[in-house]
Amino acid sequence: MQQYTILLFGPASALIGADRVVVQCPSACTCDELKVQIVNANPTLETHLQVGRLAVNQGFVAGDASIDPHAEIALITMVSGG
């Protein structure tokens, strides 16, 4: 199993009361697969994942990009306004 730590900010962090979530994948995950695992572990984050993006090592990645479990991963969502 691969363990991934995803940093949360703003409303997403407030929603679950933590600044990060930890999820596991059976093998190396793509960005899209990791999003599914995040929702499975924290269903209340689904809306944030639909409108947000994952950043890996401080840059946005495509859905089919493979993610290293040791990378810095953050869920970036709208924090105010539009």
Q: Whole-model pTM?
A: 0.90
Residue 77 is predicted with a pLDDT of: 86
Residue 70: how many other CB atoms lie within 10 Å? 11
pLDDT band, residue 79 (cuts 50/70/90): low
Of 60, 38, 65, which Cα lies nearest the Cα of 50?
38
Domains of the chain (ranges plus CATH)?
2-76 (3.10.20.30)
Question: 29: number of CA atoms within 13 Å, CB side?
Answer: 25
pLDDT band, residue 82 (cuts 50/70/90): low
Residue 81 is predicted with a pLDDT of: 57
Q: Is the pLDDT of residue 68 over 90?
A: yes
pLDDT digits (tens, 9 = 90+) for 18-46: 999 999 998 889 999 999 999 999 999 99
* Amino acid, single-letter form, for residue 42: N
